[in-house]
Amino acid sequence: MVSESKSPYLRSVLESIPPYKPGRKVVGPEGRSVKLSSNESPYGPLPSVREAVARAAAELNRYPDPGAEELTSRLARRLDVPEEHLALGAGSVGMLQQLLEAVGEPGAEVVYAWRSFEAYPLLAGLAGVTPVQVPLKDEAHDLDAMADAVTPATRMVIVCNPNNPTGTTVREDELTAFLDRIPDSVLVILDEAYLEYVRDPRVPDGVDLYRDRPNVAVLRTFSKAYGLAAVRLGYLVGHPPVVDAVRKTLVPFAVNHIAQAAGIASLDAEGELMERVAATVAERDRVRDALVASGWTVPPTEANFVWLRLDGDTLDFAAACAEAGVSVRPFAGEGARVSLGTPEENDAFLAVATSYAERR
């Protein structure tokens, strides 16, 4: 009899790949539920974006534009890049999966910092590539060690900037020196899901760096700053060989009609949306200052979250937050990532964090 836990027709690698764990929602006293576990924007779409989504929802009987031509054109003008240097997909994580499918084959290696975005090892395993994890240094990318980890088998290197979950950044001089060390035969992906929250002028815009480097590509998303996490929309900026490969691995119609409409409307409303981003940045500074004043060690962050190094206390802290109706994202034995919400939501978290610090 065939074991129910192991199927003869499924890939054996699936047994070693844990499922992705999204941030969870908890309910505390008096029904309070503050979700600070998924790096989402606390603000809903602007009225103009909701109206565009409503109009698009009336046309669900038709397939979406397979090439997302209008959105691609608008993005190309917004970024000052040729349209053939752009590819769209179902969120930046979906595009990363497409990239790994494009480079992945037995023996190929992908280098990235760790801890970083938790989907990296999952997607690498599914693509059949060998993940090479390079430990963080002071909660940030150790670019020298990452460059040293590149071998003739390396196909791709991922730099998450700002880094998820620590919020730390790589500065332009460091990144440029790193890129100069990477062979032209290795694709470098700059994962910039949180770029809109960056205020440090020393942090580069990856689109500026890719222009004269054919082996560099940039991932961006509408999920975070644009508040469109539910519709799954992301894009890649790169040179034609990379973009063409990503388009070949795209599931047909992956960028749905509502996502395209929401993306276009969000670009039209970008000024208003960036005001919301500025509000989140202000809350980020307030929350970090309050945590530091309470005795926490919090690395400087340029994203829409803060990182608390808790080591063995991580799950206990997450449980204390959950008991108060606040969900955070724990990484057992390491620390907790806490997204920035509204001022009231952030105050609820700070009350727990301050009380916990006093007991440590």
pLDDT in tens, 273-282: 999 999 999 9
Strands (E), 270-328: 305-309, 326-327
What is the rounded average pLDDT of the residues 66-94? 96
What is the rounded average pLDDT of the residues 241-262? 93
Q: Judge whether residue 290 has pLDDT over 80.
A: yes
* 164, 303 Cβ separation under 8 angstroms: yes
Predicted confidence (pLDDT) per residue in 102-113, tens digit: 999 889 999 999
Q: Judge whether residue 1 has pLDDT over 50.
A: no
Phi, psi values for residue 306, rounded to 5°: -120, 160
- Tell which CATH classification among 2.60.290.11, 3.90.1150.10, 1.10.150.120, 3.40.50.720 matches the domain 12-44+271-359: 3.90.1150.10
Residue 99's closest CA among 78, 61, 69, 129?
A: 129
Phi, psi values for residue 221, rounded to 5°: -145, 155
Euclidean distance between CA atoms 312 and 34, whole angstroms = 24
pLDDT of residue 2: 43
Predicted confidence (pLDDT) per residue in 15-58, tens digit: 766 666 766 777 777 777 899 999 999 998 889 999 999 999 99
Place of tokens 């919020």: 167
Q: Where are the domains of the chain?
A: 12-44+271-359, 47-269
Strands (E), the chain: 34-35, 86-89, 109-114, 130-135, 154-160, 187-191, 216-221, 234-237, 305-309, 326-327, 329-331, 335-339
Euclidean distance between CA atoms 14 and 269, whole angstroms = 42
pLDDT of residue 112: 98
pLDDT band at 4 (very low <50, low <70, confident <90, very high): low
* 152, 119 Cβ separation under 8 angstroms: no
Residue 200's closest CA among 303, 297, 280, 80?
A: 303
What is the rounded average pLDDT of the residues 196-200? 98
pLDDT of residue 16: 67
pLDDT band at 360 (very low <50, low <70, confident <90, very high): confident
pLDDT of residue 185: 97
Q: Judge whether residue 89 has pLDDT over 50.
A: yes
What is the rounded average pLDDT of the residues 235-252? 94
CATH number of 47-269: 3.40.640.10
List, as one string, the DSSP characters of 207-252: HHHHTT-TTEEEEEESSSTT--TTT--EEEE--HHHHHHHHHTSPT
Euclidean distance between CA atoms 245 and 241, whole angstroms = 6
Strand, coil or helix: 13: helix
pLDDT, mean over the chain: 93
Predicted confidence (pLDDT) per residue in 124-178, tens digit: 999 999 999 999 999 999 999 999 999 999 999 999 999 999 999 999 999 999 9
More confident residue, 83 or 26: 83
Strands 187-191 and 154-160: parallel
* 314, 292 Cβ separation under 8 angstroms: no
pLDDT of residue 17: 65
Q: 140: which strand partners?
A: 137
pLDDT of residue 211: 97
Predicted confidence (pLDDT) per residue in 293-344, tens digit: 999 999 999 999 999 999 999 999 999 999 999 999 999 999 999 999 999 9
Predicted confidence (pLDDT) per residue in 114-132, tens digit: 999 999 999 999 999 999 9
Provide, rounded to the nearest whole percent, the portion of the chain with pLDDT above 70.
96
Euclidean distance between CA atoms 195 and 205, whole angstroms = 8
Q: How far lies 291's CA from each of 25, 35, 127, 284, 286, in Å?
A: 23, 18, 40, 11, 9
pLDDT of residue 11: 72
Query: Who's near 138: CB < 8 A, 6+ residues apart?
Result: 168, 299
Give the largest CA-CA distance in the chain: 63
Query: The pTM is what?
Result: 0.93
* 206, 195 Cβ separation under 8 angstroms: yes
